[in-house]
Amino acid sequence: MATLAHPPDCDRRWFKRFGRRDAPTDITLLCFHHAGGSAAIYRQWSRMLPPSIEPVAVQLPGRADRFNEPAFDRMGPLVDELVEMLTPLLDRPFACYGVSMGSRVAWALTHALRARSMPMPTRLFLACDIAPRHHDGTWPWEGHADGLEGYLRGMGGTPPEVLAQPELLSALLPTLRADLTVLSTHDFHPKEPLDMPIRAFAGIDDLSAPPDQLSGWEAETTARFDLDVLRSGHFFDADAERRVTETIEHDLARDRGAEERR
């Protein structure tokens, strides 16, 4: 397929390949971070996944090495830019994993690819994000007694050293606000569900995205749906993350075996 020409640094800004692998891989796993987060949450995944799977972490603007770029505050422009930047990577099999906001971005991106008749992911892995059908128009950060900072502290995913330094915290809040605006303004209800398998991961102690509200992702596909409930909160600990990567490895290996038998 034809690819688009981009400045050499675009790929390095958007896509992080921690522990880049020299040997050929069977499939790319595009990984999308949570609101206020960065691609660094996937730094260890190249070690946790087998050589057959290449994790490529997407780095959205407004954070880490892209701190000086404006963060997106609407899903439409974000997905349009992602489609353009991803086009050169879509000439080989790929799957998507997203956590929290990253789940919603991966899902919206997949619908955008389908609308453009472009290559589609073989699977979606979605974590810690309630299904679209369960949204009632309200969000857990809206009306928080202590504002956005209180919400951030309550979620428990921000390093203590960041919370302890007012200047770091104040630098983080605008990007978090933009990310959450992406979600709160994305009122998308597709007419047709997707047709690839979806596996959702839920933390049993996640109050913002409890397991029963992730079960609704089943309605977003005509293919197989699985829900894994982990002993974790909204942010997965090391053991839960290990279970996630092991499950992803198992699913993609099973898909590859089924493809080889055809």
Tell me the domain boundaries of the chain: 8-261
Give the model confidence (pLDDT) of 117-146 as tens digits. 999 999 999 999 999 988 766 666 665 545
**pLDDT: which is higher, 96 or 89:** 96
Top-tier CATH class for 8-261: alpha beta
Cα 25 to Cα 212: distance, rounded to the nearest angstrom: 35
Instruction: Find, among 177, 44, 183, 219, the residue nearest to 102 by Cα.
Output: 183
The model's pTM:
0.91
Token readout for 223 is 């293919």
The pLDDT value given to residue 171: 83
CB atoms within 10 A of CB 156: 9
| Catalytic (active-site) positions | 100
pLDDT tens-digit readout, 35-86: 999 999 999 999 999 999 999 999 999 999 999 999 999 999 999 999 999 9
pLDDT in tens, 159-170: 667 666 777 778
More confident residue, 19 or 144: 19
Structure tokens at 128: 């810690």
Instruction: Say what the pLDDT of residue 173 is.
Output: 87
